[in-house]
A and B are shown apart, each in its own frame.
Chain A
Amino acid sequence: MPVITVREALRQALHELMQDERVFIIGEDIGHYGSTYGVTAGFLEQYGAERIRDAPIAEAGIVGLAIGAALVGMRPIAEIMSVNFSLLAFDQLINHAAKIYSMFGGQMHVPMVLRTTNGWTQLSATHSQSFDVMFAHVPGLKVVAPATPYDMKGLLRASVADPDPVIFIEHTLMYTVKGEVPDEPYEVPIGRSALVREGRHATVVTYSRMVHLSLQAAEVLSREGIEVEIVDLRTLRPLDMSLAIESFKRTGRGVVVTEDWQSFGTSAEIAARLYEYGFDYLDAPITRVNFREVPMPYSKNLELKTVITVDRIANAIRDALK
């Protein structure tokens, strides 16, 4: 099976999807510039300006347009280059995209996909945030955050095929991550988690880029005789905790790793589910690894103190095993 990057996996998925006449892509700098992370490089030349639409810097407009197009039968893929800019489109996403199906008695679906990115690396406080929890909080949205090239391709296809609005969250530090991806089209179903490592001492529940860091931490701990099991949630809404809880019932120790602030964050929801459904199996408090709770510093040294490292994950697992 070919080994390709996340970027290449997304490009493959988009090329396949563009075979469907209903699909078009809209976003800032996605056409002439080929998109900030190069995912749609060459698409404008191949598919033309009607289906690869460069948008003005007007996020609410981009999302509003996508919603309207979806309502009349199109399959829009809107791109907001950084999730930080999606704040400008929140009213469209939350009060319109997420509500139209329910508020109009199920007469209309909104089959749009919003591709966007989390990420940091000296982008400073306003451009280094993660709002997974804000999307995942809202009934009516689906939220997908894959970690591997295989899941990126399969879940992007499933997202476009889905009748409801899907927030598809990528990560700026993951585009070069490599993995096996079949050439042919396939879908990975939304709302299914995956067991990515087996172990018996502790259960790590995570998603997106933190899957990779958790795997590295697991290798470090393996040399100490600690074997952790890792569950990649892949989708935040609907949230599939079945594998995580099953694993937790075997280990009795849980660690949740999410790349956002801890308070009221995704890790809080995940830990709460472990407590609720795994209570009788709990052998220690669940530990969590998150961003330090400060606006992201620009200074490189301070930034590295704020974000999650392999060491911090390994230490949290050791703590959970005390």
Chain B
Amino acid sequence: MPDVTMPKMGFDMQEGTIVRWLRQIGDEVRRGEPIAEIETDKVTIEIEAFDSGVLREIVVAAGQTVPVNAVIARLGDDAPSPPAAPAAAAVEQPSSPPAAPSVPAVAVAPPAVDDREVRASPLARRIARDHGLPLAGIAGTGPLGRVVRADVEQALTARPAAAPSAVAAPTPAVVAAPTPAVVAAPTPAVVAAPTPAVAAPTPVAASPRGDLVPLTSMRRTIARVTSQSWQQAPHFMLTMEVDMGACLALRGSINAGRPREAQIGVNDMIVKAAARALRGFPMLNASYSDAGIELHHDVNVSIAVALDAGLVAPVITGCQSRSLGAISRESKRLVALAREGKLGAADLQGGTFTVSNLGMYGVSEFVAIITVPQAAILAVGAVRRVPAFRDDSDEVIARQVMNLTLSADHRITDGAEAARFLGEVRRSLEQPLELLVD
């Protein structure tokens, strides 16, 4: 019987989660047909059968995570023999899987992970049980990802900080606080939060205080990447106000004659302005390493896209030579794929600078965390109508302004350089015809 295995969908993919099975036991599957939807830490994607046959056995149920190359299903020849011992998971599948899900696939919550399904040594299990620590969230460093004593002990050490938000989260202060607040006063908030798991050796999942939501691959990746960045890259932040009047006027006149699907967005203009400015500031289009600072030839701008289940940042490559229209088209394509959960690994690699925009949520300004090894990230606030003095008199007029906050890695660049870069972004947004000439 040919085995269906967890495919490797990118050079650094190590494990994947079955989001759902698109075929049921007993279904005939042809080579090349989609058979399941899987989620890696970067992307949700349909996988195709490499052989034809009848789906005989589903080895890995939806919601479970297995390493690359693990057998996830078995195909048999097409003789209509009764299916061998259908896995419980197969029974739970909907009888007619929709061909193209309209809901982002990543939003499908996997069932809560039972500790018994986590590969762990009996010793690790016992220590975790004694401390009321769920095994599900612990990354195993033993062979085949087995959770061993050292992993549990490390998780216990790390827990005082992690427990309040990850487990019970009864204190919205910790969860809802924007990054600066956490930075300014991390200890009081965290220490004040009760850590029920430590005190009571009962499983957290059964606690009356709340529900335990298992980490998705995406959540896990965001957690790892952001904390790594926050801990390793010394961030400094600069905020600058931009007069968006001319930019919005130009956008209005461009879009007046264009079909809806081809309209230029404010964000496209900001990406274009940033890409233009980056050509003159190589240190902001660079990566830090102990060996030296790598200056990237291409300007590849990652755009942060919010999803129900988290966040992805697909990459618009080669922005240094893309027109505003080309940037806009590529951006639309990537956002659409992101919302469908269908970004490929290639769409997510190679970013050299990130633009993150929360303006549509009414946020006037915010601080973003750098996507290491990038040098900086530009946080874009909402365009607001404010009273302002005219430049040459005391007359008060209405202006449309927007705050840009740049977070930059101090290992690579310094305040003055970053300020000049930000000033250049502002200049081309305030004189937006420049965005059209190259």
Is the pair A282, B122 in contact by a Cβ cutoff of 8 Å?
yes
Give chain B residues whose Cβ lies under 8 Å from the Cβ of A282.
121-123
CB distance from A12 to the nearest CB of B (A): 45
Most buried by B among A252, A283, A284: A283
CB distance from B153 to the nearest CB of A (A): 11
Is the pair A284, B148 in contact by a Cβ cutoff of 8 Å?
yes
Is the pair A322, B121 in contact by a Cβ cutoff of 8 Å?
no
Query: Can you name the residue of chain A whose Cβ is closest to the Cβ of B120?
Result: A283
Query: Can you name the residue of chain A whose Cβ is closest to the Cβ of B150?
Result: A283
B249-283, CB < 8 A from A = none
Is the pair A284, B126 in contact by a Cβ cutoff of 8 Å?
no
Cβ-based interface call for B362 (8 A): no
CB distance from B127 to the nearest CB of A (A): 9
Cβ-based interface call for B82 (8 A): no
Query: Can you name the residue of chain B whose Cβ is closest to the Cβ of A322?
Result: B143
Cβ-based interface call for B83 (8 A): no
Cβ-based interface call for A33 (8 A): no
B125-169, CB < 8 A from A = 125-126, 142-143, 146, 148-149
Complex CA gap A279/B123 in Å reads 8
Is the pair B122, A280 in contact by a Cβ cutoff of 8 Å?
yes
Is the pair A281, B123 in contact by a Cβ cutoff of 8 Å?
yes
Cβ-based interface call for B124 (8 A): yes
CB distance from B135 to the nearest CB of A (A): 14
CB distance from A103 to the nearest CB of B (A): 42
Given the interface pairs A252-B121, A252-B123, the reply to whether A283 lies near B143 with Cβ below 8 Å is no
Give chain B residues whose Cβ lies under 8 Å from the Cβ of A280.
122-123, 125-126
* Chain B proximity mask over A283-322: 1 for CB below 8 Å, otherwise 0: 1100000000000000000000000000000000000001
Give chain B residues whose Cβ lies under 8 Å from the Cβ of A279.
122
CB distance from B140 to the nearest CB of A (A): 11
A228-278, CB < 8 A from B = 252
Interface residues on A, range: under 10
Complex CA gap A284/B149 in Å reads 9
Complex CA gap A207/B115 in Å reads 38
CB distance from A144 to the nearest CB of B (A): 33
CB distance from A200 to the nearest CB of B (A): 12
* Chain A proximity mask over B307-348: 1 for CB below 8 Å, otherwise 0: 000000000000000000000000000000000000000000
Give chain A residues whose Cβ lies under 8 Å from the Cβ of B124.
283
Complex CA gap A280/B129 in Å reads 11
Most buried by A among B143, B146, B148: B148
Give chain B residues whose Cβ lies under 8 Å from the Cβ of A284.
121, 142-143, 146, 148
Query: Can you name the residue of chain B whose Cβ is closest to the Cβ of A319?
Result: B143
Give chain A residues whose Cβ lies under 8 Å from the Cβ of B146.
284
Give chain A residues whose Cβ lies under 8 Å from the Cβ of B126.
280-281
CB distance from A286 to the nearest CB of B (A): 11
Complex CA gap A266/B237 in Å reads 67
CB distance from B337 to the nearest CB of A (A): 40
Query: Can you name the residue of chain A whose Cβ is closest to the Cβ of B149?
Result: A283
Give chain A residues whose Cβ lies under 8 Å from the Cβ of B143.
284, 322
B165-191, CB < 8 A from A = none
Complex CA gap A279/B146 in Å reads 16
Complex CA gap A282/B120 in Å reads 10
Give chain A residues whose Cβ lies under 8 Å from the Cβ of B142.
283-284, 322
CB distance from B198 to the nearest CB of A (A): 21
Give chain A residues whose Cβ lies under 8 Å from the Cβ of B123.
252, 280-283
Query: Can you name the residue of chain A whose Cβ is closest to the Cβ of B143?
Result: A322
CB distance from B173 to the nearest CB of A (A): 38
Complex CA gap A322/B123 in Å reads 14
Complex CA gap A322/B145 in Å reads 11
Query: Can you name the residue of chain A whose Cβ is closest to the Cβ of B152?
Result: A283
Query: Can you name the residue of chain B whose Cβ is closest to the Cβ of A252?
Result: B123
Complex CA gap A282/B142 in Å reads 13
Complex CA gap A282/B146 in Å reads 12
* Chain A proximity mask over B40-52: 1 for CB below 8 Å, otherwise 0: 0000000000000
CB distance from B174 to the nearest CB of A (A): 33
Complex CA gap A200/B330 in Å reads 58
Complex CA gap A39/B411 in Å reads 76
CB distance from B133 to the nearest CB of A (A): 16
Query: Can you name the residue of chain A whose Cβ is closest to the Cβ of B148?
Result: A283
CB distance from B292 to the nearest CB of A (A): 33
CB distance from A1 to the nearest CB of B (A): 40
CB distance from B120 to the nearest CB of A (A): 10
Give chain A residues whose Cβ lies under 8 Å from the Cβ of B149.
252, 283
Instruction: Show 14 residue pairs from A and B whose CB-CB distance is below 8 angstroms, ordered by the A residue.
Output: A279-B122, A280-B122, A280-B123, A280-B125, A280-B126, A281-B126, A282-B121, A282-B123, A283-B121, A283-B122, A283-B123, A283-B142, A283-B148, A283-B149
Query: What residues make up the interface of B, taking CB atoms closer than 8 Å to A?
Result: 121-126, 142-143, 146, 148-149
Task: Given contact pairs A252-B121, A281-B126, A282-B121, enumerate 16 new A-B contacts (beta carbons under 8 Å).
Answer: A252-B149, A280-B122, A280-B123, A280-B125, A280-B126, A281-B123, A282-B122, A282-B123, A283-B121, A283-B123, A283-B148, A284-B121, A284-B146, A284-B148, A322-B142, A322-B143
**Across the A-B interface, the 8 shortest Cβ-Cβ residue pairs:** A283-B123, A283-B121, A282-B122, A280-B126, A283-B149, A252-B123, A283-B148, A281-B123
